[in-house]
Amino acid sequence: MAFPSDLEIARSASLKPMDDVAAEMGLPQHLLEPYGSDVLKVGLNAIDELADAPRAKYILVSAITPTPLGEGKTTTTVGLGQAFKHIGKRATVAIRQPSMGPTLGIKGGAAGGGYSQVVPMELLNLHLTGDMHAVTAAHNLLSAMVDNHLYQGNKLGLDLTEITWRRVLDMNDRALRNIVVGLGSKSDGVPRQTGFDITAASEVMAALALTTGMDDLRGRLGRIVVGYTTEGEPVTADQLDAAGAMTVLLREAIKPNLMQTYENTPVLVHCGPFGNIATGNSSVVADLIGLHCGDYLVTEAGFGADMGAERFFNIKCRVSGQRPDAAIVVATVRALKAHSGKFRIVAGKPLPEDLLAENPDDVHAGAANLRKQIENIRLHGVSPVVAINAFPTDHPSEHAAIREIAASMNARSAVCTNFAEGGAGAAELAEAVAEAADEPNDFAFLYPAEATLREKIETIATKVYGADGVSYAPLAKRQLNTYERAGFGNLPMCMAKTHLSISSDPTLKGAPTGWTLPVREVRASVGAGFVYPICGEMRTMPGLGTAPAAARIDLDEQGEIVGLS
């Protein structure tokens, strides 16, 4: 019999009543609001009310540089969360809300996989409690206020060619990347070029993920810079009188969503900022709650350790004031083989056949990437643990090769079979993580807030990416000077770089050396609270492929969803 599909497994789950899931976390009833029977919203008062409860160990799940297919980081995160119960501990999982665009596009869902899933997966993958739509609405309200300001006479003197605020939709829609608005007659607005990004790329999403509460959110939204005047002065959402209504639209979305895994482990699902131009981490408020709900809080950061983990340490933890206790680097045989540089993996295409043959030497040939990502965890004073996410096509000798690489770096490691076996398959990982988290905590930021913007960029580029240095395009230099002058110099840095290489060149595998990071331009998410240098082509609106997932999704004769994976 074939291994059942993710959707079939998810359907077979024995869901525990959500009130029981919450009660086991110590969340009192008055903080909970049901949204249907399978998800609760958790009120923000939980942060204060739980402050005296014991603090959980704070575990980050990161990874080596992934292939375009992803390496099962969410599956490992969910599996580890489940595994703690198998070693007698209580854990909570905190993950991002999947973006619906890719779910309907090429990717399918993002609930983990196999017997390590968040359930019901169709709820997680489609709408959930509407937070994503609330972000869309708040973002586009500001967009409408910008264009209405132009239409009503442009009293603030916005330079039409310097408006940086676009619109967003949670959809893969390439035709909206570059558009001209305001066509038609005089009453139809002011013509100008702009475009749509996917909602995950919205600065509102990043602000929501980084906020610590309603007042803080109101402040962040007000500081959003939508563009510049003809004199070069920034124009903010507060100047357009939009931030109050935007905050009101996010009144429910600021509350984390509580779901459960296949094995009834609690999961806080909250926010989904893009991993390339934003932080790629779930929300601060979910973590501030989850850190007082058990023995371990397991959260996930997007892409490899050079990307999501670096931002987790230097942006998210700086805002939250929390210190991580251990960090996992998820590795797979196929990805390490790919880092040997001998294979090319393309999303939507079958894996190369010789990549699937037993060959531990190919795994060793890709070791540099794993070593560098372990080092990137250690750079922040955090204990690394290597999780080997096992695939049915792997060979024991190849898993052994990964363990040897980890051992050579003095890092703990464990083979994880939780996709096929659930939490029990990650029990060894849970033991290793527990040991790592008990080591002395030497967590430290990579750079101080007071460092200049250039110093921050150069520190990340040389220490984390292994670059020789940084080259700035003239535009980037001007922008850095502008931001320093405007008082944005103390913001942390969120490098917009490819996730497919530690370098800025997606074709370079392993741990490239002897290269210079090119910074083409620099943008500032002043409201969310970071500066992001653009180091390569960054796509902020995906497209649909030749065979979109949406074309397969339907209801069967029993009214059950089919085609969602």
Q: Which residues are annotated as a binding site for ATP?
A: 67-74
Query: Of the candidates 17, 28, 148, 485, which one interacts with its own copies according to CB under 8 A?
Result: 148
Query: Of the candidates 241, 358, 438, 439, which one interacts with its own copies according to CB under 8 A?
Result: 241
* Closest CB to its own copies among residues 68, 548: 548
Query: Of the candidates 82, 247, 340, 565, which one interacts with its own copies according to CB under 8 A?
Result: 247
Site for its own copies contains 104 (CB under 8 A)? yes
d(CA 496, CA 197): 15
- The annotation places the binding site at 67-74
Query: Of the candidates 218, 316, 371, 454, which one interacts with its own copies according to CB under 8 A?
Result: 218
Stretch that binds its own copies, among 125-133, 294-302, 354-362, 491-499 (CB under 8 A): 125-133
* Nearest CA among 516, 419, 521 for reference residue 462: 516
* Closest CB to its own copies among residues 23, 357: 23
Site for its own copies contains 559 (CB under 8 A)? yes
For residue 474, give every residue at least 6 positions away whose Cβ sits within 8 Å of its Cβ, in sequence order, or none.
none
Site for its own copies contains 145 (CB under 8 A)? yes
Query: Of the candidates 147, 263, 325, 394, which one interacts with its own copies according to CB under 8 A?
Result: 147
Site for its own copies contains 47 (CB under 8 A)? no
d(CA 415, CA 401): 11
* Closest CB to its own copies among residues 87, 550: 550
Peptide bond into 273 cis (omega under 30): no
Minimum distance from CB of 33 to its own copies (Å)? 5
> In the range 12-41, which residues lie near its own copies by CB under 8 A?
33-37, 41
Site for its own copies contains 48 (CB under 8 A)? no
Site for its own copies contains 564 (CB under 8 A)? yes
Stretch that binds its own copies, among 54-62, 239-247, 264-272, 337-345 (CB under 8 A): 239-247
Query: Of the candidates 134, 237, 277, 293, which one interacts with its own copies according to CB under 8 A?
Result: 134
d(CA 527, CA 368): 37
Residue 506 in contact with residue 467, Cβ under 8 Å?
no
* 268-to-77, 87, 287, 288, 469 alpha-carbon distances in Å: 12, 21, 8, 11, 39
* Closest CB to its own copies among residues 126, 400: 126
* Closest CB to its own copies among residues 87, 179: 179
**DSSP letter, residue 349:** S
Site for its own copies contains 548 (CB under 8 A)? yes
> In the range 252-271, which residues lie near its own copies by CB under 8 A?
252
* Closest CB to its own copies among residues 135, 365: 135
> In the range 155-214, which residues lie near its own copies by CB under 8 A?
167, 169-184, 187-190, 193, 214
**DSSP letter, residue 384:** E
Query: Of the candidates 75, 129, 265, 373, which one interacts with its own copies according to CB under 8 A?
Result: 129
Radius of gyration of the chain (CA): 23
d(CA 308, CA 282): 10
* Nearest CA among 474, 464, 472, 486 for reference residue 519: 472
Query: Of the candidates 347, 357, 444, 551, which one interacts with its own copies according to CB under 8 A?
Result: 551
d(CA 81, CA 264): 10
* 236-to-108, 174, 419, 493 alpha-carbon distances in Å: 37, 28, 46, 20
**In 10 A of CB 474, how many CB atoms?**
8
Size of interface with its own copies, in residues (CB under 8 A):
75
* Nearest CA among 29, 33, 46, 22 for reference residue 130: 33
